Amino acid sequence: MRTLKIFLILIFCNKLQAQEVFSIEGVKENFIPIYAFTNTKIIATPEIEYQNGVLIIQGKKIISVGEATDIKVPDEAVVFDLEGDYIYPSFIDLYSDYGLPKIKKDIYSYRPQYERNTKGAFHWNQAIHPEIDACDNYVNSEENRKSYLYNGFGVVLTHQKDGIFRGTGACVALSQKSESENLLLPKAASIFSFKKGVSQQKYPNSLMGSIALIRQTFLNTEWYEEQKNQNNLSYNAIIENKDLPNIFILNDELDYSRVQKIADEFEIDFVLKGNGKEFLRINEIIDTESPIILPIDFPKAYEVNNPETTEWITLSELKLWETAPYNPSILSKNNIEFCITSASLEDSKDFLKNIRIAIKKGLNKSDALASLTTTPAKIIEIDHLCGTIEKDKHANFIICSNDIFEEGKIYENWVLGEQNVVNKKQTNDFRGYYTFNSDEFNNAKIIIKGEKSKPLIIFKELDTNKVNLSISDNNINIFDDNGSFRGIGKIYNNKISGRYQNKSGAYYEFTMIRDSLLDDPEQNKITKKHNSLAIPNIWLPNKAYGFEKLPIKENIIFNNATVWTNEEKGIVENYDVVISNGKIIATGFSLEAEKFFPNTEYKTVDATNLHLTSGIIDEHSHIAISRGVNEGSHAVTSEVCIGDVINPNDHNIYRQLAGGTTAAQLLHGSANPIGGQSAIIKFRWGESAENMKISDAPKFIKFALGENVKQSNWGDYERIRFPQTRMGVEQIFYDAFYRAKEYKKTWEEYNDLSRKEKLNTPPPREDLKLNALVEILTSEMFITCHSYVQSEINMLIHVADSIGFNVNTFTHILEGYKVAEKLQEHGAGGSTFSDWWAYKFEVNDAIPYNAALLNDAGVITAINSDNAEMGRRLNQEAAKAVKYGNTSQEDAWKLITLNPAKLLHLDHRMGSIKTGKDADIVLWTANPLSVYAKVVQTYVDGKLMFDIEKDKKIFKRDLKEKMRIIKLMSKEKKSKIKKLKPDKEKHYHCDTIYEHED
């Protein structure tokens, strides 16, 4: 059972202020005493310590602090001799919902909610509520207050942990005084997150949707400030709170760079609340240059006794367990400013324990103290009030038995000059050898030993198994475990006197005289463990198959290969290819490496009997995406970008490399007619999300037609959103592009104004949705459209032609063969499946001959995966074009290399083996179109990303690492162990729509 042994004693209610805003009943207390704390070590700030210090406070404030030699204790002071105890400034927690009401989630409705379901002059989206001020709802909460005090906190920043624009947080002291007195700063910071929280409104239902919504809201604010026609309380609040510190709550280590982009775009400095896994992407976190609020809920060890169930724990979880406690130390070594929060601990009692673990793992004490006091104070700009023990600051401090970062126990936590006893200090030392006398016992010998605050008793003469002892101040209670001896007494000098009742009910007086003290009272003290300070290896990414060191661009000559050039030469045998600095620098017969690398080192790869090709490019993939591939809410979501949510940790990246795939377009899903913008990446395993993007790749956006966008297979409740038919889909496009044209015109008119006119005309509102559509109209953004049946393909071509834009690629396009001529006329390409069909009604006429027919008709044709499994053997899918429709092998190979490169407008640098192109190269054991072909090596930008021999070694390395950590885990104490047990976590299915809320 969880019991917090906290005894709170209110000594005085101090009111330093001469005047107050509340009425006083009865007789006013006018005398405000001075308290002096002497004989104490004061750690006043992370830098200043007073070895023999004196602290003097009056009312809420600190009057003076310093060495005993420098400070005079006033005569009228109440003096507390702390007998060598330590004083620290009390801690500040910036991530709390202390004193706020619990937020209730609406009852889930099967009917989708697209609009607000509450009224008022607020933002259209219910997850955006910057107008909520925590201070309006804050009331003291005795229960929560105790657990904060127990851990040494005196002040918290509290806010409603709900929504994207969460509103402001209040800075609150944890005293028993009234709310008005505790409220140090009503609006101390604005809080943001990516999670929509309890809002049941459909939008946003993906991480990228949240990002777009945040950006659009900031853009709207800029416009709103300049206009005078309408009033919206949410925007008013954003403007009003502009100068407050901003805190952004993150989900994982990848969110840092996501927030950073928003911060840069709108020139906002965010303080980032992390998740304790910062060490996984430390370089990106350094780049943000933002202070961090750090949880220290280190993962618990798993029970590893059963080898088979232990298999279910991934290496990534094991490595996380091992390294997470080093996280604070790694941050401080990298000079990242951070403060520590007690939030998200399963058991709040672990707080100090975990701080001490972090210290053992290398965090130095002064950084630890700063992270709990001065740093948070500075972040929310209360450093003139709190965070250190200095003259005129609030009297917020803790008294500890010893060094708090070692084993110090907190006795008292003073908040606003008010004493809170956390753990009662045992001043009287009962330990020693005693002689016991009563009418029943004559000179019985008793020993009291053990810890001073929790001693044990040995009373042999008593005829029972166990004798218990409990002490408090100078009171003692001795009782056995069968009710035959129950006594109480008081100690005075070396004599205890009292009385007891025996089993017959009779009372006896007794005395216990201390004959001598214990020889060595500290003998039971635990010896300190020495922990290793060496930070475990962190791989990139930190999981199976991760790199210890990122590969570098190599100089290589591949000799004697069968080269599938995808150029005029076709497939050439006994051919050489030379790469350097990430590019192909030469191809030809019998090339001499020395010519290319006269003074530099190079590697020769004997490719005799091997086939060499350019890397496979997957035009349509959904791997490596965080928290939602679909913003499947509104019919038009052109504002969202997959590029914001790339997940470089997805192990499918490595698997694709092992199948010869080196690049992919990560597409938004197909839940809406106008979906989101895609990201075109190379599979640079180990790199950051940003570094995976192909720098000069053009912008693409996903459109979609047919059953998915009309929600045909979403169940009977999803019948609200327009469109529900193909007829409606057409109208969505016309409407969207008419609006885009109007928007474009508005901006053009504004941009044509003279500089002087512009001064008097506010700029139009910038709209991310329409921006993207305008870019389509101006050919700065290309369309990849999910499509199946010929009627809808025809329709979109018709819409495009009449509006004046181009459809770059139709993806899936399984009935493309029926309209090949029309595609060719419009200039659209097709990216299709080799042989999928019959999974929906609209693919009944899908045929595996589609790719061959399209290719024969002169349409640029690609074969894509849309599937993590197929993405690792696309060569086999291309081969099916040979089987179905007799495509030549050379053309079939282009379906997954040169043609997708063309569709993505990247054929100037990718898609063939040609001097000057990127060294994205795959070596195969056999004809790559054959089922018997295996990848030997895969290079991306001339870097070796996969090697069939190295892969075997890496697997062994991973197993070794796993066993090493399992060994450490099995040594872990029982109390720290977590069993693999069922819990209530949601079980996601591979559906189109994914709610990214946890």
* 54: phi then psi, degrees, rounded to nearest 5: -135, 135
- Give the three-class secondary structure for 301: strand
- Give the three-class secondary structure for 953: helix
Q: At what angle do helices 207-226 and 768-777 cross, to 10 degrees?
A: 100
CB of 851 to other proteins, least distance (A): 12
- Give the three-class secondary structure for 39: strand
Closest listed residue to residue 253, CA positions, set 681, 684, 647, 652: 647
CB of 291 or CB of 885, closer to other proteins: 885
Contacts of 745 (CB under 8 A, 6+ apart): none
CB of 35 to other proteins, least distance (A): 52
CB of 185 or CB of 315, closer to other proteins: 315
CB of 422 or CB of 820, closer to other proteins: 820
CB of 930 to other proteins, least distance (A): 6
Closest listed residue to residue 556, CA positions, set 574, 530, 583, 589: 583
Q: Rounded distance, CA 987 to CA 995, Å?
A: 12
* 156: phi then psi, degrees, rounded to nearest 5: -130, 155
CB of 972 to other proteins, least distance (A): 19
CB of 23 to other proteins, least distance (A): 57
Contacts of 23 (CB under 8 A, 6+ apart): none
CA angle, residues 144, 148, 154, in degrees to nearest 5? 120
CB of 889 to other proteins, least distance (A): 7
From its phi and psi, is residue 811 left (phi > 0), alpha (psi between -120 and 50) or beta? Answer: beta
Contacts of 569 (CB under 8 A, 6+ apart): none
CB of 574 to other proteins, least distance (A): 22
CB of 933 to other proteins, least distance (A): 7
- Give the three-class secondary structure for 515: strand
CB of 671 to other proteins, least distance (A): 14
Q: Rounded distance, CA 460 to CA 435, Å?
A: 12
CB of 419 or CB of 626, closer to other proteins: 626
Q: How many CB atoms lie within 10 A of CB 663?
A: 30
CB of 460 to other proteins, least distance (A): 50
CB of 129 to other proteins, least distance (A): 28
- Give the three-class secondary structure for 145: helix
CB of 971 or CB of 981, closer to other proteins: 981
Q: How many CB atoms lie within 10 A of CB 483?
A: 11
Q: Rounded distance, CA 544 to CA 654, Å?
A: 10
CB of 262 to other proteins, least distance (A): 22
CB of 856 to other proteins, least distance (A): 8
Structure token pair of residue 352:
């100090």
CB of 152 or CB of 871, closer to other proteins: 871
Burial 525-541 (b: 16+ CB within 10 A, else e): eeeeeeeeeebbebbbb
CB of 506 or CB of 959, closer to other proteins: 959
CB of 575 to other proteins, least distance (A): 21
List helix spans (H) across 420-508. none
Are the C-beta atoms of 552 and 568 separated by less than 8 Å? no
Q: Rounded distance, CA 642 to CA 978, Å?
A: 36
CB of 173 or CB of 878, closer to other proteins: 878
CB of 675 to other proteins, least distance (A): 16
Q: Rounded distance, CA 893 to CA 616, Å?
A: 9
End-to-end CA distance of the chain: 28
How far apart, in Å, are the Cα atoms of 748 and each of 227, 235, 651, 742, 751?
Answer: 19, 27, 46, 10, 5
Are the C-beta atoms of 620 and 866 separated by less than 8 Å? yes
Closest listed residue to residue 295, CA positions, set 257, 253, 333: 253
CB of 248 or CB of 545, closer to other proteins: 545
CB of 720 or CB of 931, closer to other proteins: 931
CB of 235 or CB of 654, closer to other proteins: 654
CB of 435 or CB of 712, closer to other proteins: 712
CB of 243 or CB of 311, closer to other proteins: 311
CB of 240 or CB of 951, closer to other proteins: 951
CB of 13 or CB of 931, closer to other proteins: 931
Structure token pair of residue 79:
């003096």
Q: Rounded distance, CA 825 to CA 823, Å?
A: 5
CB of 742 or CB of 821, closer to other proteins: 821
CB of 556 to other proteins, least distance (A): 24
Q: At what angle do helices 207-226 and 233-240 cross, to 10 degrees?
A: 80
CB of 369 or CB of 851, closer to other proteins: 851
Are the C-beta atoms of 288 and 269 separated by less than 8 Å? no
CB of 839 to other proteins, least distance (A): 4
Are the C-beta atoms of 181 and 175 separated by less than 8 Å? yes
Q: Rounded distance, CA 526 to CA 558, Å?
A: 64
CB of 988 to other proteins, least distance (A): 4
CB of 567 or CB of 856, closer to other proteins: 856
DSSP of 373-403, one letter per residue?
THHHHHHTT-TTTSSS--TTSB--EEEESS-
